Amino acid sequence: MTLVGNPILPGCHPDPSICRVGGEYFLVTSTFEYLPGLPIHRSSDLSRWELIGHAIDRPGMLDMSGMASSSGLYAPTLRHHGGRFWLICTLVDQHDAARGGNFVITATDPAGPWSEPVWLDVDGIDPSLFFDDDGRAWAHGTRPARAPQWHDQTEVWLREFDPVAMALIGPEHLLWRGAVIGGVWAEGPHIYKVDGRYLLVAAEGGTEMNHAVMVARADAVTGPYLGDPANPVLSHRQLGRTADVVAVGHADLVEAEDGTSWAVLLGMRPYGGLHANLGRETFLVPVVWEDGWPVFAPGSGRVPETVEVPFGRTGVADDGSVVVAPGDLRWTSVRALPGEVADAVGEEWLLPVRAEGPLDAQPFAFLGLRQQHIDVDVSLRITGRLAEGEEGGLLIRQSERDHVRLAVLGGGESDAARVTVTLVRRGETVELGVATLEGSLADGVELACRARGQDYELLAGTRANPPRRVATIDGRSLDSFSSGGFLGLWLGVYATSSGQETESVLRVGNVQYRAR
């Protein structure tokens, strides 16, 4: 017996989907505009999870250039059938509905390589796959209702899927339009077969405070589906804004080797008020069956702080403290792969300065890590030369419209590095701090962020001067409740020439992420 702490995947890991192959579990989550995309985690006990790769990890698999923040890769579903892993997902451009769509990729090893995307002729989001025991396969997803009875009503569709042709075939079936009259965004659907009947699990209420898990079942995969009288079967929306975990929903079920049932789902942990800087995280709850219906978190109906996993193994938990070398799988970039914007040289990165920057909805010179702990220190060293008008440094990123830059400015006296702290809030820029350091960028500048709750202290120093505070930021201005969007915060290093042609390069080293 192991006591597992929730969330099982801290930091921005939304829309989890899980499957089991033998004694191993595999889990994928959404990544929106960040690449590599769709991280695959593996566990043998639902307790300890290892990042083993990403499904979207090669240049050219997808084009996200120009996509605004919170566009990109939405709500993947991971399944295993016929000796292969199947992953179905949506690429969304929030400003261009004609760009993107639903695609399928496959792999024999979930760590990769994954196949090139095969696009399906269907609209909507949040697709899923169900492989029936009669040999037939079915794709299903959600879209805005064709004949809505209220604003933001959606509907779940179903069509047969040909795994050989990788295409949808046969007629479409409308399965579900929500459990609650007036309820919005019936989405994230998954179908399972339980004791000869078909179970539909879907989210409802939108992915914020009114999120919930709904269940329906049918005698045939094509329906009709009747809702569980207990709907919503899991939600924290009735607990209000002061709950420890809010916005609970988007569940996926898995049966363990011992026959017990479990669900992974998303939720957010607010702190400092209704602010969730870590974004939507992945949680685990037990499931039991009563009269053929699933009961989530039996006895409490709430996502617990800890979960008893009977087959869990004991071990030392990862405290999140690590020096992050270039080969670490957690590195991400925005709309591009890390290897497309930087070169790994030993334990350091070479980061060429680009004309694009954090304000642009384009790939830019950025290497980042999810914030996965409320209290954390992130530090790094940059070395090089920057021309007048260029800058590079530490970036705390929510989006191009909401972020903080601890920037070393180019030009000026070679032996005195100039540093500024700039807050971009809903597209408006405010300078919050400035410092001149005794020492040059050519000799190396140390930059750090010390997050303690909602206080983000930004520090800068050189070999001659230990890092000192330049400014402290109120993190409540950066989370998705304040700024909109679907993401938690990322911290990392960036560089930009602000539109100028440049040949400047920064050397990035000694990157440390230390949970406190």
Residue tagged active-site, from 57, 160, 187, 252 = 187
What angle (nearest 5°) sits at the alpha carbon of residue 235, between those of residues 91 and 279?
Answer: 45
Q: Domains along the chain?
A: 2-309 (2.115.10.20), 322-515 (2.60.120.200)
Q: Computed from CA positions of residues 51, 55, 59, 63, in that sequence, does the dihedral angle turn out positive or negative?
A: negative
The confidence score (pLDDT) of residue 94 equals 87
- Non-local CB neighbours of 68 within 8 Å, separated by 6+ positions: 33, 93, 94, 95, 361, 399, 400
Q: pLDDT, tens digit, for every residue of 246-296?
A: 999 999 999 999 999 999 999 999 999 999 999 999 999 999 999 999 999
Distance separating alpha carbons of residues 27 and 227, to the nearest angstrom:
27
**pLDDT(457) > 60:** yes
The pLDDT value given to residue 274: 97
Could you tell me the pLDDT band of residue 96, with boundaries at 50, 70 and 90? confident
Q: Which amino acid is at 127?
A: P
Residue 315 has pLDDT above 60, yes or no: no
Residue 98 binned pLDDT confidence (cut-offs 50, 70, 90): confident
Is 15 in the active site? yes
Q: Which secondary-structure segment (H or E) carries 169?
A: strand 167-176
What pLDDT does 321 receive? 66
Q: What is the pLDDT, as a whole number, of residue 312?
A: 79
Tell me: pLDDT of 463 over 90.
Answer: no
Among the ranges given (112-121, 194-203, 283-292, 410-419), the one the predictor scored with the smallest mean pLDDT: 410-419
What is the C-alpha separation between 443 and 435, in angstroms, rounded?
17
Say what percent of the chain tops pLDDT 90. Answer: 93
> Is this structure's pTM higher than 0.85?
yes
Task: State yes or no: pLDDT of 319 exceeds 80.
Answer: no
CA atoms within 13 A on the CB side of 247: 21
**How far is the C-alpha of 130 from the C-alpha of 80, rounded, in Å?**
10
pLDDT value at residue 72: 97
pLDDT greater than 80 at residue 148: yes
By C-alpha distance, which of 262, 279, 294, 216 is closest to 489? Answer: 279
For the question of residue 116 being annotated catalytic, the response is no
Q: What pLDDT does 314 receive?
A: 62
**Cβ contact 102:120 at 8 Å:** yes
Mean pLDDT of the chain: 96
Q: In this structure, how many other beta carbons lie within 10 angstroms of the beta carbon of residue 304?
A: 17
Q: State the chain's maximal CA–CA distance in angstroms.
A: 76
Residue 316 clears pLDDT 90, i.e. is over it: no
pLDDT at 364 over 60: yes
The pLDDT confidence band at residue 322, using thresholds 50, 70 and 90, is confident
| Residue from 423, 428, 436 nearest 397 by CA | 423
Cα atoms in the 13 Å half-sphere on the side-chain side of 218:
13
- Confidence band of 317 (pLDDT split at 50, 70, 90): low
Contact 420, 395 (CB under 8 A): no
Q: What local confidence, expressed as pLDDT, does residue 415 receive?
A: 78
pLDDT digits (tens, 9 = 90+) for 379-402: 999 999 999 999 999 999 999 999
Whether residue 300 is predicted with pLDDT greater than 80 in this model: the reply is yes
pLDDT-derived band at 464, boundaries 50, 70, 90: confident
Q: How far apart are CA 309 and CA 226, in angstroms?
A: 31
